Amino acid sequence: MATASAQRIIQEGIARLQAVGMGHVRHEVEWLLSRLVGARPLELYLRDAPIPTPTVERFFSQIDARAAGIPLQYLLGEAEFFGERFAVSPGVFIPRPETEVIVDAALGFLRERERRLGRPLQLLDLGTGTGCIAVTLARALPTCVVVGVEVSWVALRAARQNVHRHGLSARIRLVQGRWGAPLRGGFDGLIANPPSVPSGQVDHLPLDVRREPRVSLDGGPDGMRELASLMEQAPRLVRGGGVVAFECGEDEVSELVRAASAASWVEAVAPIRDLSNRPRGALIHLR
């Protein structure tokens, strides 16, 4: 490459990703370069100065990693959730827009619940990952206290970083453990995005999804193993009148709704749908 202008290396980056069959890559490529250069994506095109060689080399090594299926968010070291930035690294599940729908549905109920009870809510985020759910809840409900439980120490480190970054260390407590095992009850709400992909489908997920921790994806033979275990723990953890919001795959929603309707502690259950009306989880009200 004669001169390493931003324009030129962006073109080359796009070409390398397209060569492995990826589409709509301009945005990703601009993001990677702008992060390395420390400029906003549009500013890249206005620069006259050539990009320094070490930056060009780092850029292409990231492009090649992306071409090999490493998720963009792992290369950037962060992901966006509810308009906020969250640190993420390999070994940690990447926040998804689908989860925003679940948190939003839970918040609709929790705001009202807080008003009615007239005291700060105590909330529980099981399998906290980056901590994106816990942080979003704590930002939206400025007096609530959230406990985040996470089994993976790598994820717990990311969660700790994110809680700190958002200045919420006083209201979010992070605990290492498996689901509700380390906890006593008394929570007003439980929100979780447990693994719910049937084991046999995990190996057929897109390449970049398979770079995420399997433990965050694999929900056992029928995808329901962890959801069933959480359903068993929910009535011990959550107070009467409280709410449980679970995210799961479209195929698992009907099974979850069926199981909840049959449970003695459930007052009402409704599927949570996204903007295109696809079921993404369920909102379960406790008696």
- Which residue lies nearest ligand GLN, judged by its C-beta? 129
Among 13, 41, 71, 127, binds ligand GLN (CB under 6 A): 127
Contact pattern for ligand GLN over residues 66 through 95, marking x by CB under 6 A: ---------------------------x-x
Piece of the chain touching ligand GLN by CB under 6 A; list 128-136, 181-189, 256-264, 266-274: 128-136
Among 13, 129, 219, 281, binds ligand GLN (CB under 6 A): 129
Measured from the CB atom, is 62 or 193 closer to ligand GLN? 193
Question: In whole angstroms, what separates CA 80 from the centre of its chain?
Answer: 9
Catalytic residue among 71, 194, 195, 279: 194
Shortest distance, CB of residue 96 to ligand GLN, whole angstroms? 6
Return the axis-axis angle of helices 250-262 and 225-237, rounded to nearest 10°: 40
Contacts of 255 (CB under 8 A, 6+ apart): 222, 224
CA distances from 276 to 68, 101, 160, 206, 244 (A): 31, 11, 34, 22, 23
Helices (H) and strands (E) in the chain, counts: 11, 9
Measured from the CB atom, is 99 or 233 closer to ligand GLN? 99
Burial-class residue 263 by CB neighbours within 10 Å (0-12, 13-18, 19+): middle
Measured from the CB atom, is 73 or 128 closer to ligand GLN? 128
Phi, psi angles (nearest 5°) of residue 210: -70, -10
d(CA 16, CA 22): 9
Measured from the CB atom, is 93 or 179 closer to ligand GLN? 93
Piece of the chain touching ligand GLN by CB under 6 A; list 56-64, 126-134, 197-205, 249-257: 126-134
State the number of binding residues for ligand GLN (CB under 6 A): 12
Measured from the CB atom, is 95 or 235 closer to ligand GLN? 95
- Contact flag: residue 136 with ligand GLN (CB under 6 A): no
Restricting to residues 188-207, name those near ligand GLN by CB under 6 A.
193, 195
d(CA 143, CA 97): 25
Shortest distance, CB of residue 103 to ligand GLN, whole angstroms? 9
Nearest to 144 by CA among 126, 124, 128: 124
Measured from the CB atom, is 74 or 93 closer to ligand GLN? 93
Q: Is residue 206 flagged as an active site residue?
A: no
Contacts of 143 (CB under 8 A, 6+ apart): 114, 120, 121, 171
d(CA 243, CA 10): 48
Catalytic residue among 59, 81, 86, 93: 93
Shortest distance, CB of residue 80 to ligand GLN, whole angstroms? 12
Cα(first)–Cα(last) distance of the chain, in Å? 67
List of residues contacting ligand GLN (CB under 6 A) = 93, 95, 99, 127-130, 132-133, 193, 195, 216
Residues annotated as catalytic are 93, 193-194
